[in-house]
Amino acid sequence: MFRFFENLVDPFARFEATTPPATLWAYLKTQLGPFRKWMVFMAITGVLVAMVETGLIFYSGRLIDLLGANTPAQLFDNHGTELMLAALFILTIRPLFIGLNHLFLEQLLAGNMQEQVRWRAHRHLLGQSTSFFQNDFAGRLSNRVMQMGGAVEDATYMAFEGIWYALTYVISAALILSGVHPLLAVPLVIWVAIYVVYVRYIARRVAVASEKWSGARSMVTARVVDAYSNIETIKLFADEGTEERYVLSAMRRLRLRFQRFLRLMTELSFGLNVINSVLILGMLSPAIWLWSRGVISVGEVAAASALTIRLNGMSGWIMWVTVRLFEHAGVIREGLESIAKPHDVTDVPDAPALQVAQAGIEFRDVSHHYGKGRGGLDHVNLSIKPGEKVGLVGRSGAGKSSLVNLLLRFRDAEAGQILIDGQDVATVNQTSLRQQIGMVSQDNSLLHRSIRANILFGRQSASEQEMMAAAERAEAHDFITTLQDPKGRTGYNAHVGERGVKLSGGQRQRIAIARVILKDAPILVLDEATSALDSEVEAAIQDTLFGLMQGKTVIAIAHRLSTIAQMDRIVVMDQGRVIEEGTHEALLARGGVYAGLWARQSGGFLGEDAV
């Protein structure tokens, strides 16, 4: 039975991947979509439970009157059937209604809603460009994704389990009291009006305070995660006091935001007690007066008293639920600051997959200034023939990495076109584009998973033999077999730690190379691919890379000019433009910028001020 209700909605079902709405109600509407047809049942069972509870209180008053009007023998003789039916109702119908209500609210709603929210938010963020993540804290983004799930689920749950139930309960109580005597319903109606106005006044302030509190929580998480992720840098360079103050300032701000939130809670509690005192006196005084006039019975006074006491207890709970709803609204609004941002790089509608036959690349009058009007790339024209090996040379900031990032569509060019086999990369599916390009960069971070999982990222369908063969070609197999992580996993099952921190730079690079070997894409990009390796390993890897280049179109970026001297063509860039190109020998013979770079290198590396 539990599984039936749990599976009525699939939180991970495919959905139309559009940018989430940036406003609260519109966002909630999109999340409630899969649950819409079941919300009717949640509402109906909630009404039934509330009616049963108020009915029981009313019947307790009737029971008191029956006890007062009958001897024990008369009671069972005259009302035995009624009492048996009441007992049967309490034992069967009441648990059935309550059980159904909880199955809908907990197994169906609570069991699926928060994971649906988190999954959709995470999937949307995965589609963001690399610059989006570079401009924010990973800790803050992950905190917002996790908080959003709980906030949306809890808010929806409490709207049904709290607000809807309470509304039905109050209406039922008002009907019962008015049936006893219209005068008894008047204080309840007045109390509800005062209560709603007060709750609305407090809740609006809570929403603002909650949004600020949530933002402060996200910032603390961001700074703490940033410290843990870069712990080696902190220990090497940072004054411990400076780093402590950096996080402490965020924690102080969080404490201040939380204290302001708690002040509202205290204010709320005091005001609620005052309002409830009015309810108790306003309900019991007319009930006792009506009894003294012989208008209502003792049982009816008892029922009115029980309803009043029950409402007094419920009012604090309802107030808490309402405040939590507005608190969650603040959390959701804070989360939408990240989650509702549209993607910077998007596919055109029905974008076709990239079809690569020869892997020719052309940069046609490409400019990209990162929205600043200058810097970056400036009218670059470059044609790379199918199967050609091209080396990119230039000082830092010359535009080499920008050229590669635009080829991979980590960003879209501001002007011009980039073509692969005549197909504009801006018009094809991004996933298919990147499937055709293998890249080894200077700083290859690994996933905190097993060695096997990291290598198979290159091609998930690869066999164990193919995966191990790639590791052997990358000169990685021997050291992998010696690995063991703290949990006792060894070899290819050993986990590498966050970003691969448990491995040396050279070991990480060799696993990254194995991953690209396994991918076997027709276009290969090498961005300082061997810079993290020692000379002996580099020599072996160079042979592997040259073997990997065969039959592929290659773009290789290097400061160490000796590593690209054997390329078919070398392209020299400066200030976002191509200033020279040709073979190594031709460029040396020309005696231009490249020849100067070659002459000025010290230890085989290109100096920062060489150009």
Query: Alpha-carbon distance 546 to 328, whole Å?
Result: 57
Query: Alpha-carbon distance 72 to 568, whole Å?
Result: 108
Number of Cα atoms under 13 Å in the Cβ half of residue 224: 12
The first and second tokens of residue 430, run together, are: 């991004």
The first and second tokens of residue 181, run together, are: 């005597």
Q: What is the mean pLDDT of residues 169-178?
A: 79
Question: What's the sign of the alpha-carbon dihedral 536, 537, 539, 540?
Answer: positive
Span 306-360, pLDDT tens digits: 777 777 777 777 777 777 787 788 888 888 988 888 888 888 888 999 999 999 9
Residue-wise burial string across 439-451, b where 16 or more C-beta atoms lie within 10 A, e elsewhere: bbbbebebeeebb
pLDDT of residue 578: 92
Lowest average pLDDT, out of 96-110, 187-201, 466-480, 583-597, goes to: 187-201
Instruction: Say if CB 50 and CB 168 are below 8 A apart.
Output: yes
Phi, psi (rounded to 5 degrees) for 415: -155, 155
Return the bridge partners of 415, or none. Answer: 367
Q: Which residue type sits at 401?
A: S
The first and second tokens of residue 224, run together, are: 């703490």
CB proximity list for 300: less than 8 A, separation 6 or greater: 61, 65, 180, 181, 287, 291
Span 358-390, pLDDT tens digits: 999 999 999 998 877 777 898 999 999 999 999
Q: What is the mean pLDDT of residues 236-244?
A: 68
Query: Alpha-carbon distance 117 to 152, whole Å?
Result: 7
pLDDT of residue 389: 93
pLDDT of residue 445: 75
Question: What's the sign of the alpha-carbon dihedral 597, 361, 125, 453?
Answer: negative
pLDDT of residue 193: 83
- Domains defined along the chain, listed by start: 21-28+35-339 (1.20.1560.10)
Statement: the pTM of the whole predicted model exceeds 0.85:
no
Span 147-160, pLDDT tens digits: 888 889 988 888 88
Return the bridge partners of 96, or none. Answer: none
pLDDT > 80? residue 4: yes
CB proximity list for 66: less than 8 A, separation 6 or greater: 75, 79, 299
Query: Alpha-carbon distance 296 to 52, whole Å?
Result: 23
Lowest average pLDDT, out of 24-38, 241-255, 570-584, goes to: 241-255
Sheet containing 553-557: order of strands: 437-440, 523-527, 553-557, 389-393, 569-574, 577-582
Return the bridge partners of 363, or none. Answer: 382, 418
Q: What is the mean pLDDT of residues 173-200?
A: 80
**Averaged pLDDT score across all residues of the chain:** 84
Share of the chain above pLDDT 70, in %: 94
